[in-house]
């Protein structure tokens, strides 16, 4: 490990920190093969959007459209990671994190005709080579929402052809980066791409139509299914999977109507993605919730989508309490007096445990799981060079305990990635919402390690010392 990284570790003396984080002695998190890492995504951290031949993405277009992103923020500079990647890797290694989940930007690595962009590819080669040298396990997400704008101009995920273009992109990346990646995740959160991007328009490309959402989802999942065998052929030694955001829906009462509402919430958030991937079929209840929205599915598509996975990535943030809307759907019934984060999301670690145990019961072929994102936003401030993010420390501890409970109930969970390594561009919320365990001053790009990061480091150091 380079000197500068060890300096970070040494500065964090276990004795000097009162510790509200370290898991109890019987926690599975002490097992060394349970990976603990952090996650980021290209558009949220890289900046340099016009450099080295990068083409515009749908998020460049969306964030430049007035009224779409809070305070008019864009990813133009973000955390300037494209230029600061070396010191950011040192920071990650210095924190003792064992794994890093990052994403590659499609518009950086290919032009409109599919011709590789060497400079963009070299950036990821350098980055992944350095991570490997540092002994950090890598998970690379191929699509964390930055679709090339020229593909959106031809219909984006509503155009079946985009799935085939994605397969070409996956082919290029897995040929170029073979041997440097431990795990490939095809897509991040297809629910957000399909529903927020094409269903309600809160995310890029900002289109809003219920039928669009189900068709976009089908093409996203098809893209995933087409890519998996390509990744296997080009890079046989790595794991292949996908990352899904999942939502816990609880019923506001015992009434049959509210119970049904909670069921439909989870169908819309979870089964819509997991059923096609793991059962090869869309849940029919979805089309009761959203009548007349069945996507156009061609022969063989569902088999392609259900290609066997080596892992399933699960992103979890909060639960939603719902009641019947009096018709065929659900409506939110937010509870009073519960703990919430800066996003307004309810802190509910049991939801993570219950979902994991539920999936284990529902899907006979559930692959091993990584928690690929979990974390929270708070209005963190630097005071005397320190950031005391005590709500985050408690949040992480409780969610890791929920993961431990799920493991003890028999769910195979291989690791956990905090969202996020550092504060970054939080999509429609811009830079106001801080999810990092490292604080970023966007004026100076100074990184300040928050107390949560110190405590994660302390735990990892202790775990390592136990051998
Ligand atoms: C997830 C996204 C991630 C981040 C977190 C807070 O939905 O995958 O990029 O924005 O939410």
Q: What is the pLDDT of residues 284-341, one digit of tens each?
A: 999 999 999 999 999 999 999 999 999 999 999 999 999 999 998 999 999 999 999 9
User: Computed over its alpha carbons, how large is the radius of gyration of the chain?
Assistant: 21
346 lines ligand 1 (CB under 6 A): no
Q: How many CB atoms lie within 10 A of CB 126?
A: 13
43 lines ligand 1 (CB under 6 A): no
Cα 189 to middle of ligand 1, angstroms = 8
Cα 340 to middle of ligand 1, angstroms = 17
Cα 425 to middle of ligand 1, angstroms = 10
Active site residues: 373
- Is the distance from CB of 210 to CB of 198 less than 8 angstroms? no
Alpha-carbon distance of 464 to 77, in angstroms, equals 36
- Closest residue by Cα to atom 4, ligand 1, is 426
- Is the distance from CB of 437 to CB of 392 less than 8 angstroms? yes
pLDDT of residue 7: 58
148-169: b or e for each residue (b if 16 or more CB lie within 10 Å)?
A: bbebbeeebbbbbebbebbbeb
Give 183's strand partners. 139, 239
Q: What is the mean pLDDT of residues 343-355?
A: 98
Q: Is the pLDDT of residue 2 over 50?
A: no
Alpha-carbon distance of 399 to 347, in angstroms, equals 9
Ligand 1: residue of 45, 63, 189, 421 to mutate (most ligand atoms within 8 A of CB) is 189
Give 324's strand partners. 330
Question: Across the chain, what does the average pLDDT equal?
Answer: 96
Q: Which of ligand 1's atoms lies nearest the C-alpha of 189?
A: 8
Token pair recorded at residue 290: 């959203």
Q: ∠ CA(347), CA(352), CA(355), 5° rounding? A: 135
Q: Is the pLDDT of residue 233 over 90?
A: yes
104 three-class SS? coil
188 lines ligand 1 (CB under 6 A): yes
Distances, alpha carbon 338 to alpha carbons 81, 318, 443, 459, in Å: 36, 12, 34, 29
Cα 152 to middle of ligand 1, angstroms = 21
419 lines ligand 1 (CB under 6 A): yes
Q: Which of ligand 1's atoms lies nearest the C-alpha of 424?
A: 10
**Full set of structural domains in the chain with CATH:** 5-466 (3.20.20.80)
426 lines ligand 1 (CB under 6 A): yes
Give 242's strand partners. 312
Cα 6 to middle of ligand 1, angstroms = 30
Q: pLDDT tens-digit profile of 399-428?
A: 999 999 999 999 999 999 999 999 999 999
Looking from the CA of 239 toward its CB, the CA atoms found within 13 Å total 21
pLDDT of residue 267: 98
Alpha-carbon distance of 434 to 161, in angstroms, equals 36
């Amino acid at each position: 490990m380079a000197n500068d990284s060890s300096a970070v570790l040494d500065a964090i003396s276990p004795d000097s920190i009162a510790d509200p984080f370290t898991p109890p002695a019987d926690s599975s998190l002490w097992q060394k093969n349970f990976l603990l890492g952090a996650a980021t995504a290209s558009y949220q951290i890289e900046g340099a959007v016009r450099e080295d031949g990068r083409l515009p993405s749908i998020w460049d277009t969306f964030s430049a459209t007035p009224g779409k992103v809070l305070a008019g923020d864009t990813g133009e500079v973000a955390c300037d990671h494209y230029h600061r990647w070396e010191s950011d890797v040192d920071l990650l290694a210095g924190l003792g994190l064992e794994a890093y989940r990052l994403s590659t930007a499609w518009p950086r690595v290919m032009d409109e005709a599919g011709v590789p962009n060497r400079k963009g590819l070299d950036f990821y080669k350098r980055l992944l080579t350095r991570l490997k040298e540092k002994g950090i396990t890598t998970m690379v997400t191929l699509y964390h929402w930055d679709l090339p704008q020229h593909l959106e101009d031809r219909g984006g995920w509503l155009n079946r052809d985009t799935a085939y273009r994605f397969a070409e992109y996956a082919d290029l990346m897995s040929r170029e980066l073979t041997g440097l990646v431990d795990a490939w995740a095809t897509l991040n959160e297809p629910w957000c791409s399909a529903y927020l991007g094409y269903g309600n328009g809160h995310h890029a490309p900002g289109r809003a139509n219920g039928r669009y959402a189900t068709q976009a989802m089908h093409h996203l999942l098809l893209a995933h299914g087409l890519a998996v065998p390509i990744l296997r052929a080009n890079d046989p030694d790595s794991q292949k999977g996908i990352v899904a955001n999942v939502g816990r829906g609880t019923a506001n009462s015992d009434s049959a109507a509210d119970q049904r509402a909670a069921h439909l919430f989870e169908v819309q958030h979870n089964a819509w993605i997991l059923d096609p991937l793991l059962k090869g079929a869309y849940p029919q209840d979805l089309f009761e919730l959203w009548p007349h929205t069945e996507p156009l599915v061609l022969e063989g598509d569902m088999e392609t989508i259900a290609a066997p996975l080596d892992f399933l990535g699960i992103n979890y943030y909060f639960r939603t309490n719902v009641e019947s809307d009096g018709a065929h759907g659900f409506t939110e019934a937010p509870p009073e007096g519960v703990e919430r984060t800066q996003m307004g999301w309810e802190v509910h670690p049991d939801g993570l445990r219950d979902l994991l145990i539920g999936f284990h019961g529902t899907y006979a072929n559930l692959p091993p799981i990584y928690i690929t994102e979990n974390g929270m936003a708070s209005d963190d401030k630097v005071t005397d060079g320190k950031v005391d993010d005590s709500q985050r420390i408690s949040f992480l501890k409780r969610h890791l305990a929920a993961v431990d409970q799920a493991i003890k109930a028999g769910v195979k969970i291989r690791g956990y990635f905090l969202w996020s390594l550092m504060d970054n561009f939080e999509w429609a919320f811009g830079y106001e919402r801080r999810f990092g365990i490292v604080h970023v001053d966007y004026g100076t790009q100074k990184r300040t390690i928050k107390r949560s990061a110190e405590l994660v480091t302390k735990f990892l150091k202790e775990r390592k010392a136990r051998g």
